[in-house]
Amino acid sequence: MYELLNRLTQTFGVSGNEEPIRELIINEIKDKVDEIKTDALGNLIALKKGNADAQNHKKFMIAAHMDEIGVIATHIDDKGYIRFSNIGGVSPYTSIGQKVEFKNGITGVVSYEQKLDDIKNLKLSKMYIDIGTKSREETEKFVKIGDTACFCGSFVKQGDFAISKAMDNRAGCAVATEVINILSKTGTDNDIYFVFTVQEELGLRGAKTAAYQIMPDYAIAVDVTRTGDTPESHIMEVKLGEGPAIKIKDSSILCHPAVKSLLEAAAKRANIPYQYEILEGGGTDVGAIHTTGGGVPSGAVSIPTRYIHSPTEMISLKDLENAAKLVAEAVR
């Protein structure tokens, strides 16, 4: 999963521009699933068929969003500097001095107006991207208004830890892909729909439309979650390296007790370490899925991650592997 995660995180896929990351995932899974399609909004939906004659045959949806946060060009001044807005949750403080890469490969540096009297008043509207040009006309040869860029952050592995941009949520995509690999070997009684969703960072949009198409009996979202194990961090039970987290609650959902019990039983049956997640702010695709149609019993498996929405998100590879084993055991 290390090599796969490396390729996933380093591929462009800002919300609304997920084509490159979608193509990578298609090439990774197309020979291991029974059906694969891209819907009108851009979600990648892959079906792994089960045994239709099996007792208690069910239809599961596993959702992992493939988009990442980024920025969008809103104005180019006479000297060629690019003003920008956010795509998803971008912090101005985390952005200072960072490199961004546009979809066409052009790289720029993020900085802020030097006349700013107090850094505490920093806003994205006081910031700009410098691609090393000297005029609006020169910049427009490379970047147009509406072009999007992702933050740059190389993939680094140190022992069990891995650091990169876009772990949110390419880590979840890696887990979903590994579940496909596992089920290709073990088989499954259930029909499993793997949905690599779009525009999660803009409001869980892809998951909503995909769930309406599939109308699953159960759904599990795979995404990252924050940790409470760094100095003076917000108090939270989740720790890096202590196993995947079974979600109990976030701001978008109170997870269905049947799905929570299903995940707990799977973890105990397969001797997989796990934690419980209560995320006081933020949500994932499961928030949109569970209110689809007449309602879908839903839950989530979360990958503990430090420094979320930065170019240096950190995970444990052991947690990643155990998350894949947990989801596979639960739905198989």
How do residues 162-181 score in pLDDT, each as one tens digit?
999 999 999 999 999 999 99
Choosing among 3.20.20.10, 3.90.470.10, 2.40.30.40, 3.40.50.300, the CATH entry for 70-151 is: 2.40.30.40
SS3 of residue 209 by DSSP: helix
Confidence of residue 115 (pLDDT cuts 50, 70, 90): confident
Span(s) in the chain for CATH 2.40.30.40: 70-151
**Alpha carbon distance 136, 77 (integer Å):** 6
The pLDDT value given to residue 51: 85
* Residue 326 near residue 299 (C-beta atoms within 8 A): no
Question: What stretch(es) of the chain map to CATH 3.40.630.10?
Answer: 2-68+165-331
Angle 282-241-280 from CA coordinates, rounded to 5°? 20
What are 32-41's pLDDT values in tens digits?
A: 999 999 999 9
**Under 8 Å between Cβ of 223 and 65:** yes
**Among the listed residues 52, 38, 1, the one whose alpha carbon sits nearest the alpha carbon of residue 195:** 38
180-212: per-residue pLDDT in tens? 999 999 989 999 999 999 999 999 999 999 999
d(CA 202, CA 192): 26
- List the catalytic residue out of 200, 201, 277, 321: 200
Instruction: Identify the residue whose tokens are 């976030």.
Output: 250
Integer Cα distance of 148 and 72 in angstroms: 4
- Backbone phi and psi for residue 205, each to the nearest 5 degrees, phi listed first: -70, -45
CATH number of the structural domain 2-68+165-331 = 3.40.630.10
| Distances in whole angstroms, Cα of residue 48 to Cα of each of 8, 136, 176, 199, 220 | 21, 50, 12, 24, 15
- 200 catalytic? Reply is yes
- Cβ count within 10 A of residue 233: 11
In b/e form, how buried is each residue of 3-29, taking b as 16+ CB within 10 angstroms?
ebbbebbbbbbbbbbbeebbebbeebb
